[in-house]
Structure 1
Amino acid sequence: MKLHEAAKSTLVLLLLLLGTSISGWCEQDPLRLGQVTDDELKMGIYPQDTAAAAVVLYDYGHSSFLFSKGTQLQFKRTVRVKILKKAGLDFANIEIPYFKKSPESKEEVLNLKGFSYNLENGKMVKVKLEENAVFDEKVDANWFVRKLAMPGVKVGSVIEYTYTIKSDFLHNLREWEFQSSIPVRWSEYRVAMVPFYEYKQVLHGFYPFHVQDSKENRVTAPITWDKEVGYAKMEERGTLSMSVVEYRWVMKDVPAFKEEPYLPNARDYLSKVEFELSKIQYPDQEPRFMAGDWEGFTKELLKEEEFGGQLTSVPALQKVAATVVAGKTEDLARAKAIVEYVQTSMRWDGKYRIYAENLKKAHDKHTGSSAEINLLLVNLLRDAGLIAQPMLVSTRGHGQPLESSPMLSKFNYVIACVNLAGKDYLLDATEPGLAFGMLPLRCLNGKGWVVQPPKGKWLPLQGVDRNSQMVSAQLTLKPTGEVLGSMEESYLGVPALQMRSKIKEKGQDTYVKSYANAGADWVRQDVKLINLEKPEETFKTQYQLSRAGAPQPEELLYLSPMLLHGQQENPFKLASRQYPVDFGSPVDETYVMNYELPPGYVIEELPKATVFSLPGNAAKFSYVVQEVNGKLQVMSKLTIHKTVFTASDYQNLREFYARMVAKHAEKVVLRKKS
């Protein structure tokens, strides 16, 4: 039947479909609780990966639409895991994230059940998950997580659990990860799509599907609506027939995802499927297109009480800003004063957040999340008369945001962007060791989104400082092989921040004490840390270095001229790699060593000078060891201009590092004169 009257209101479809759940696949779910087999209980190792601490035996998910209270999404999941080793016990601690915007707009975790199975005296013993082992934890203003610890779990256990999430948010059609940090024997996801909502499917990863298909069914649902007859309303009843397409994706025998060096965005390369709501179209109505509307995204975010609502000027914070910038007339000086104030007065609690509940309260407590600290920074910068905006960031461990589509879930962090004399400076006040205009390494991840009306903008996430490390030394080589002298290590940019953070984490005294012990053969003495508390200055470490020699002069002396600073191993050990290499920031490492040679010795063998580079000058290495006026001079320089290398670049990069390791391993040989 035609529904011209019904098309006047979405209530026809969204409120009056009486409890109908739309699902296109009529078969039973492939995985049901309680069907654990003897083979699964007796499994001692997983043949495809004998080192695995645990294995996902089955992981089944299904998403569909409900039309009982408006339109809702329903996500059901059932998981079975085998624990093989002690290290696998962590997989018995389950976390289920869910979102709450208000009592009327939320997600609910329902029908949660769990069981553990053990083989005892040849018989299967089943233990049920009790309610007291389940609790909820608030992550931020809107995100929560339901945590559960499976009972009676030990090496050899099989655990399984199931739950349902009802969601009021059409944008949040659940993504599905087929791959995990442990092997996955079978992973299956089904989604029943109704014709009113169109989602873009985004596939990630490198492993092929075992099954990838779809099936279309005609579904007839009862429908009721009100029809106006004169001044009266009459209830009409009928049915609505629609095509429901159920998509099915299956992967089997998926290997564990292994972390590789310089791969910060691991989740970007997991085999998974994501969904993005792109269009809503009800019968006889014009379509509404959702994706790509950054202007609407920005507008809505600035209306959010926990985001844009926090940027309203507060008298108490106005007074703080006025006090901090008193007597400073230049904008740059005012901005630096505000950043320094927030860095030193606030302590970051380590939480990555987008939303904040109360900046005044966070300020009074002198502690807060990344959102509370950096939204406070934006507020104070504005109160100081500067042009400042919040900026959404996806940290390196969270994955790359999609520039083509506004998806809030793709961001997990907030920084500040201040414009001074037409130049944008990116600021993060969570760490006292950050120089003005510098970002921590975790934030150096592509681009971030500046939330400013009318539609915001993308900016590259990079600091204003050059990143470099330089080591210089004045050393003396004795006839016994003893080496002693002075060294200075200088750090600028990201390397300086990493050093300062390491020292802060350990404590200065503890760090100096551990640093003095350079190894079995080497000793560092009189260690001095220079500019440790001055983040805008070059950080330096100065010390005396010595290595004991033999009791008597040697006929032959073998010297590794790079001492402790050589590239001793190739970080790229795999013969091939499917994922990019991301250094995060450019690399500039220079080493200059000068040696006084012992009298009565001649150089018998020197490493040959070399220079090699990657195509496009993406990276370059030069190495020179030479004798000048009875002294040995060593210079090694590595520059990496390109921060991200694709998988097709990997073999060249791996060979580049192999040659550098080999060159640094070459020794200088000196022979005592007859």
Structure 2
Amino acid sequence: MKYLFILNFFLFFSIIGNAQKLSTEFGEITMADLNYQSKDKKAEAVILFDVGEVSFNQARHGGFKAHFKRTTRIKVLKEEGLDRANVEVLLYNSNQGDREEVEKIEAKVYNMKDGKPTIIQFDKKKVYHEKVNEFYTKCKFTLPQVSIGSVIEYRYTLVTPFFSKLPKWAFQDRIPTVHSEFDLKVIPYYEYRFIAQNIKSFTSQNSKKLKGDLSYNGQKYQEMLYNFVMKDVPAFRDESYITSIQDYLMKIDFQLAKIYLPSTGSSREYVTTWEKYGKDLNKGEYFGKHIAKVKKQSKSIFEDNPDLLVGSDVEKTKKIVEYVKNNYIWNEYYGKKTSKTLKEFLESKSGASGDINLFLIGLLQGAGLKAYPLILSSRHNGKITSDYPFNHYFNYVIAYTDVGTGRILSDATTPLLGFNELPIRCINDKGRLIKEKENQWVSVYNHVSSYDKTEINITFSEDLSTSKTSIMKSLNGMTAFKYKVEYKDSEKKLKNYFKKQGLENIENVRTRSFEKTNKPYFLAVESENTTENLMGKVIIRPFYRFPIATNPFTEESRNYDIDFIFTESNSFLSKVTVPEGYKVLELPKETVVDNPVIKINFTTKQEGNQVIFDYSYFFKRAKYTPKDYLEVKKAFAVLVDQLDVQLVLEPIEN
């Protein structure tokens, strides 16, 4: 207790002396830090400083390891910011035994108590590791006694032998950043190139040769320091329908370009041009050579499955893709190369995306088809920058087949997807097509438009207290795939889905064609619902809650593209049987909209005792620019308003 009192005493006087200035040193805090209030009133927390430093230290058994030291201080402003006390560091483990490690973890929490600052020290025993998968582990820790108003700080050092890809540095976060700084201390044996994303200019950017000689294998060398600083960086606000936050953050990314070998005086280039990058992949044991092995092995596979070679190029492609989908299981790991030998893959019948899709390409080539690997970046990994071949941008591979009349893009990891359809993780602008003598950019998107059709039939009980409703949904393409993945053809999950759409007493749930990707996926259900009665009138929503209910676009303007990923047509057909002795108070106005953004068609009519509502809409593109934002926002406003239509039935006067 005495120690804590003395600590607070000296801290208090240290703070008074620096009341107006934010500190950027770990363990040194000012009243300005403790009292900081962000100009951004939406901010749940603010990063007071975030400083990263990469240096190269000689490893115990020779060579070098990169040491990435990070120091971060955050002021918690709202309850939502308390989660910042949970820190995670992702560590990579290769299948050759090399691994990343975290060292020197330190953390502190600063709170105000009775008008005086107190420090809560962090117990290093609270650090633990959590295995993510075969290749990744998370180092995790939580800072204690964090509340609104707390200032938290932590620092750690990530030691990595994988110096070909240095840690990327994001100057921007989902909360505001007062000071972000990154230092790179380069030794003369490694040459790096960097790409700055969404950064018009740095607050400061400097480079200098550091004083003092270092020695490696009897040779002296000096470090070169590159310093990048950005101040007062605004928060990145998530907007609906974007690709990945990685595509929009202000960040800097590094790629090893060349290694100098002092012992021989020679050098080795890692990547220079896209052409060389493609050639290196084709020569690679786990890429091009692996495809060649599969092509050779395909003869025995086709002997056992001769039907795979029957038909047109399109038919053969479809059969071979289905064969791989149905016989090999994806382990949910990404990769553009193989993680197993061909023998191991054939025996286990499972593997990463690289194992499965390179195997697919080899079979397609063995069948005499013009099939090639198309490498890309998954959506979560961020878009590819075409300026320079950064190897780590590519973490996935699919099959590209030229069938003369067009192209077919195939990913055999996902059996529930239809032919020539890619999972959402692959739809990320473009990929690099790797041929034997050339490679080129190819746009990556799904060619097949999806649809979601909902048919509703409503009748009333004799006393009008309830209505009986039957629903039929017909889905295809990516829409069907999303329903299959989310609800898994489970009666319980589908009942919950229909309940959220406003149905009660749900029964007789039926589905059809769950595993048949060449046919629409059907959902059907029946329900009995309480009727809304008001002053003798019967009120009903003919579409229930199936259509979109709120406008996802609320801001006055938008900075980023609107990415729907795929085009989808939506239609709602509702037939309401008017009970005897009642009439329709008023039918809603019909609507026809056809502009560059959307097509809407809304018709209503009464045929005998049945009222028919027919509503359909279709956004004409999968992606819209910020210039289109107001038109897209207006289109959604129309949809939300019109699809919430009510039908009012009133008694017929005698």
Range of TM-score over shorter length: 0.7 to 0.9
Equivalent of residue 576 in structure 1, options 527, 536, 557: 557
Aligned positions, number: 615
1:621 aligns with: 600
1:127 aligns with: 122
Q: Does residue 344 in structure 1 map to residue 318 in structure 2?
A: no
Secondary structure of 1:295's match?
Answer: helix
Q: Does residue 462 in structure 1 map to residue 462 in structure 2?
A: no
Matched-pair contact (CA < 8 Å) for 2:417–2:477:
no
Secondary structure of 2:545's match?
Answer: helix
Matching of residues 101-140 of structure 1 within 5 Å = 112-117=104-109, 123-127=118-122, 129=124, 133=127
Secondary structure of 2:286's match?
Answer: coil
1:139: Cα distance to partner?
6.2
In structure 2, the CA distance between the partners of 1:295 and 1:444, relative to structure 1 (3 Å rule), is same
Q: Deviations over 1:524-574 (max 9, x none)?
A: 4322211112111111122334433369x9743333232332332111133
Q: Does residue 305 in structure 1 map to residue 285 in structure 2?
A: yes
Matched-pair contact (CA < 8 Å) for 2:456–2:543:
no
1:636: Cα distance to partner?
1.0
CA distance in 1, matches of 2:599, 2:577: 29
Q: Does residue 486 in structure 1 map to residue 478 in structure 2?
A: no
2:411 aligns with: 428
Matching of residues 152-163 of structure 1 within 5 Å = 155=147, 158-163=152-157
In structure 2, the CA distance between the partners of 1:113 and 1:670, relative to structure 1 (3 Å rule), is closer
CA distance in 2, matches of 1:294, 1:633: 58
2:537 aligns with: 556
Identify unmatched segments of 5+ residues in structure 1: 1-29, 227-234
In structure 2, the CA distance between the partners of 1:526 and 1:218, relative to structure 1 (3 Å rule), is closer
2:231 aligns with: 251
In structure 2, the CA distance between the partners of 1:594 and 1:167, relative to structure 1 (3 Å rule), is same
In structure 2, the CA distance between the partners of 1:62 and 1:107, relative to structure 1 (3 Å rule), is farther
CA distance in 1, matches of 2:635, 2:554: 12
Matched-pair contact (CA < 8 Å) for 2:213–2:220:
yes
1:54: Cα distance to partner?
5.2
Q: Does residue 176 in structure 1 map to residue 182 in structure 2?
A: no
Q: Deviations over 1:565-589 (max 9, x none)?
A: 2332111133333222110011211
CA distance in 2, matches of 1:239, 1:521: 74
Matched-pair contact (CA < 8 Å) for 2:573–2:613:
yes
Matched-pair contact (CA < 8 Å) for 2:194–2:254:
yes
TM-score of the superposed pair, with normalisation by structure 2: 0.79
CA distance in 2, matches of 1:92, 1:518: 33
2:435 aligns with: 452
Q: Does residue 510 in structure 1 map to residue 492 in structure 2?
A: yes
Secondary structure of 1:484's match?
Answer: strand
1:487: Cα distance to partner?
3.1
Q: Deviations over 1:324-378 (max 9, x none)?
A: 4447522444433332333233333322223332143244334332222222323
Secondary structure of 1:533's match?
Answer: coil
Secondary structure of 2:293's match?
Answer: coil
Matched-pair contact (CA < 8 Å) for 2:570–2:618:
yes
1:399 aligns with: 382
Secondary structure of 1:622's match?
Answer: strand
1:204: Cα distance to partner?
1.5
Stretch of structure 1 that moved more, 259-268 or 415-424: 415-424
The residue type paired with residue 481 of structure 2 is: L
CA distance in 1, matches of 2:497, 2:162: 55
Secondary structure of 1:296's match?
Answer: helix
Q: Does residue 293 in structure 1 map to residue 285 in structure 2?
A: no
CA distance in 1, matches of 2:504, 2:510: 17
1:259: Cα distance to partner?
2.8
The residue type paired with residue 458 of structure 1 is: W
2:304 aligns with: 323
CA distance in 1, matches of 2:300, 2:83: 52
1:82: Cα distance to partner?
5.3
TM-score of the superposed pair, with normalisation by structure 1: 0.77
CA distance in 2, matches of 1:63, 1:362: 38
CA distance in 2, matches of 1:174, 1:224: 25
In structure 2, the CA distance between the partners of 1:332 and 1:647, relative to structure 1 (3 Å rule), is closer
In structure 2, the CA distance between the partners of 1:323 and 1:387, relative to structure 1 (3 Å rule), is farther
The residue type paired with residue 93 of structure 1 is: V
CA distance in 2, matches of 1:118, 1:550: 56
The residue type paired with residue 306 of structure 1 is: Y
Secondary structure of 2:122's match?
Answer: strand
Equivalent of residue 598 in structure 1, options 572, 575, 579: 579
Identity fraction in percent: 22
CA distance in 1, matches of 2:232, 2:273: 37
Stretch of structure 1 that moved more, 150-159 or 382-391: 150-159
In structure 2, the CA distance between the partners of 1:90 and 1:360, relative to structure 1 (3 Å rule), is farther
1:13 aligns with: none
Matching of residues 526-545 of structure 1 within 5 Å = 526-545=508-527
In structure 2, the CA distance between the partners of 1:99 and 1:298, relative to structure 1 (3 Å rule), is farther
Matching of residues 276-291 of structure 1 within 5 Å = none
1:656: Cα distance to partner?
1.5
Matched-pair contact (CA < 8 Å) for 2:336–2:397:
yes
Secondary structure of 1:313's match?
Answer: helix
The residue type paired with residue 556 of structure 2 is: A
